[in-house]
Structure formats: C-alpha cells, structure tokens
Amino acid sequence: MVGILSFAFRVSRFRFWIYLAGTYVVGYSLGMDSWRDLLAPTYVVFLAYFFLPANIFLYGVNDYWDERTDRDNPKKARKENMLCDADRRRLLGLLTLVALLSLALIVAMDSVVERAVLASFLGLSFFYSSEPLRFKSRPILDFASNSLYVMPGILGFHQASGSLPVLPMIIAGVMHTSAMHLFSAIPDIEYDRKAGIVTTAVVLRRNASLGLCAIFWTLLSLLAIHLTHYSAPSFAVFVYPSIPLVVLLREGLDIDRVYWYWPYVNTAMGGGLFLASTLAKLHL
C-alpha cells in the first residue's frame, strides 16, 4: 500500500499540484457569492480531485507515452518521474482507477455544462501526450491545448455561480497557460529536437519563443488589470511578462533554473487573487 501511494505521489508531480488545484480554487472563489460556499461538499470533493487524481491522470498519461523520449532528458530524472519498464503495468492500473473515478464524477454531475468542462479537461489531458493526436508534438496545438489547465477554473466558477466566466477572463487564462507551456518547452528544445518532437519552441527557437511568451503574458496582464477595474494591486501581474524579457536580455541566464521558480510565482499570484476575492465576500 505504501509503495503504490509513493508511486502515485511521484507520478502526480507534486511540484505542479497547484496548477490544477490552484486554478480550481481561484475559479471557485471568483464565482462564489459568500466565503461560506467554500464549505460546500462539492467544493471539497473537487478540490481533492484536482490535487491528486487529476494530476495523476495528466502526468501519468504523459509518462506512459513519453517513456522512450524521456530517457535522454535529465530534467525527468532530477525533478520529475522517470518511468521504467517495470512500472508500466502499475501505471496503467493507476490510470484506470483515476479514469473510473473521473467517469463517476461526470455521471454524478447535474449540470451538462460541468460535465462538458470536465470531459474536455480529460480529453485534452489524454490527447496532449497520446497518439494519434499527440498535441505536444504539433506546433501551435501544443501550447493551445494547454488550455486544459484553465478547465478546472471554469468548472469551479460554474459550480459556485451557475454561469460561465466572462470571455475576457477565459482568454486571460488561455494566454497564461499558453505562455507557461511555451516557456517550459524552451529548456527542452535540444532534447525534443534529438527525439524528433517538433514543438512550437523547436520551430521558433529560444529568443522568438521568449518574445512570444512576453506577448502572451502582456495580454494576460492587460486583461487582468481591466477585469479588476485598474486596482493598484493588479499591476503586480506585470511580473509575468517581465521574466521572459529578463531572460531574453540576459543571454547567459539559465532558463532551466528560472523555470523551476514558476510554481512559487504562480502560487503567490493565485493565492493573492484568492484572498482578495474571498475577503471581498466576507460581509455576505
């Protein structure tokens, strides 16, 4: 039992749990009427789901389909999970359990919209890595399909409010996830090229990719500031485009090292947004 739990923990890439669970929390907090909505059983169930099972599914599928190409990428061994032949059967069993749990949640939902959003998350998560679509090896589709990380936020918002987020909010989320994907692919350019994986970063190369990241994050920043009615704290969002610009201007800066600071940046920014949204509703 301890062994399978340890394996599940490694597969889920705990450093990135916040990318799904945090997005769900922020989306839910933006849609809720009162902080008391955070006590709802639905919120607790899906918060737990997006912390562990959803991450197991997303990254487990990736590990399964990338086993061969991951062998030459040192990042997998140092910071992530390097799948070995002996673990393939155990991984398949784990993915089957999570798939069944996900199906049960979809069946239990009352809302057609929420079913569609969760199904979209699962579909994008699967076909990002899996054949025959394998979005990760198709330029433009690789970062566009990373909108899967927006889905938990859309789901949370709808669960709390009964409606979908406004379009500028969704676009802001897509700009962020697109930039995050492209930035994360830059350190892998040489490894992906050798493995025959053609990503947007491989096509554009380092500097053009960093420039596109800065554009995506600038659009996110402008939308976020507009959506918050130009409040002073919202201007902190400009930290996002500033990072690729700094890396671009400093040729010797190790982008792989910078990449591993993103979880802290995202946690701080998302946590600030959650607190601001929750505090604004304390009087309800």
**28 & 156 share domain:** yes
Same domain, 110 and 207: no
Is 70 exceeded by the pLDDT of residue 256?
yes
How many Å separate Cα 205 from the centre of its chain?
23
- Chosen domain end from 164, 199, 215: 164
pLDDT at 116 over 60: yes
Q: Which residue has the higher pLDDT, 164 or 86?
A: 164
Judge if 189 and 147 occupy the same domain: no
The reply to whether the predicted model has a pTM over 0.95 is no
Show the domain range for 205: 166-271
CATH code, domain with 109: 1.10.357.140
Residues 118 and 251 in one domain: no
Q: How many residues does the chain have?
A: 284
Q: Are residues 59 and 111 in the same domain?
A: yes
| pLDDT at 160 (0 to 100) | 98
Question: Looking at the structure, do residues 153 and 180 belong to the same domain, yes or no?
Answer: no
Res. 80: pLDDT tops 60: no
pLDDT of residue 178: 98
Residues 147 and 203 in one domain: no
Residues 191 and 259 in one domain: yes
Summarize pLDDT for 118-170 with one digit per residue, the tens.
999 999 999 999 999 999 999 999 999 999 999 999 999 999 999 999 999 99
**Claim to verify: residue 172 and residue 229 sit in the same structural domain:** yes
| 222 and 258 belong to one structural domain | yes
What is the chain's mean pLDDT, rounded? 92
Q: What is the pLDDT of residues 23-55, one digit of tens each?
A: 999 999 999 999 999 999 999 999 999 999 999
Q: Domain containing 222 — which CATH number?
A: 1.20.120
Indicate the pLDDT class of residue 194, thresholds 50, 70 and 90: confident
pLDDT of residue 281: 85
- Tell me the C-alpha distance between 23 and 35, whole Å: 17
Predicted pLDDT of residue 253: 85
3-state helix, strand, coil in the chain (%, to 5): 80, 0, 20
**Higher-scoring residue by pLDDT: 283, 94:** 94
Total domains in the fold of the chain: 2
Same domain, 158 and 171: no
- Answer yes or no: do 130 and 171 share one domain: no
Is residue 279 a part of any domain in this protein? no
- The more confidently predicted of residues 69 and 108 is 108
Among candidate residues 113, 129, 164, the one where a domain is terminated: 164
Secondary structure string (H, E, C) spanning 242-281 = HHHHHHHHCCCCCHHHHHCCHHHHHHHHHHHHHHHHHHCC
Looking at residue 252, what is its pLDDT? 76
Q: In sequence order, which residues have a C-beta less than 8 Å from that of residue 115 and are 6 or more positions away?
A: 106, 109
Q: What is the pLDDT of residue 200?
A: 98
Longest CA–CA span in the chain (Å) reads 57
Tens digits of residue pLDDT in 14-25: 989 999 999 999
Domain limit, last residue, from 164, 184, 205: 164
Best CA proximity match to 15, nearest among 81, 72, 66: 81
- 190 in any annotated domain: yes
Tens of pLDDT, residues 208-253: 999 999 999 999 999 999 999 999 999 999 999 999 999 999 877 8
